[in-house]
Amino acid sequence: MSYPEPVYLGDGGEVTATFRPVHHEPELRTVSGVETHYLATGKSTNGHFGLYRWDTGPQPTGPKPHFHRSITESFFVISGTMRLYNGTKWIDGKAGDFLFVPEGGIHAFRNESGEPVSMLILFTPGAPREGYFEGLAEIGATGRKPSDEEMMEFYLRHDTFWT
């Protein structure tokens, strides 16, 4: 493994870093109480990665087992206990635990602890996952009942395949 080809070819470096304070308001709040912070989107990282902080209240929440064909997904538990599915078994992930899922890897996560949980979710490359989370939040907030065909198209558009 070696470093990729250089992208920046200047001599002196540039002032281009961005800072986001911890108390920044989340970009998305769902009716189930999940707050999603878009720390870095695919758009803001030129498609390299997407990094989100996922904060839940004590209520059970999270997707069923699924996989992605074009992106990897990683989970890092910041606080609380998040149940993580590695494709064969559920693991109680605690603060400091990490799960990496390559393309095609079956995975899931659920807060079943009865306590708030905070974790980081990293996608590579930086696919536009905000549309997925925002679409699900809109469906939940409005009570709209999409047809099975509409949901199949939504999941396909967002590289999500249920097992």
Domain ranges of the chain: 28-162
Q: Residue 56's pLDDT is what?
A: 96
Let me know the angle formed at the C-alpha of 160 by 155 and 163, rounded to the nearest 5 degrees. Answer: 110
In this structure, how many other beta carbons lie within 10 angstroms of the beta carbon of residue 17?
5
Residues 56-80 have pLDDT tens digits of 999 999 999 999 999 999 999 999 9
Asked if residues 123 and 72 have their Cβ atoms less than 8 Å apart, the reply is yes
CA distance 109 to 112: 9
Note the maximum CA span of the chain: 55
pLDDT at position 121: 98
Please give the CATH topology (third level) of the domain spanning 28-162: Jelly Rolls (2.60.120)
Mean pLDDT of 103-108: 98
What percentage of the chain reaches a pLDDT higher than 70?
A: 100
- Tell me how crowded residue 36 is: count the other CB atoms within 10 A of its CB: 21
Strand order in the sheet with 35-40: 28-29, 35-40, 50-56, 117-124, 72-79, 98-101
- Over residues 111-134, the pLDDT tens digits come to 999 999 999 999 999 999 999 999
Helices (H), 41-124: none
Asked if residue 106 lies in contact with residue 163, where contact means CB atoms within 8 angstroms, the answer is yes
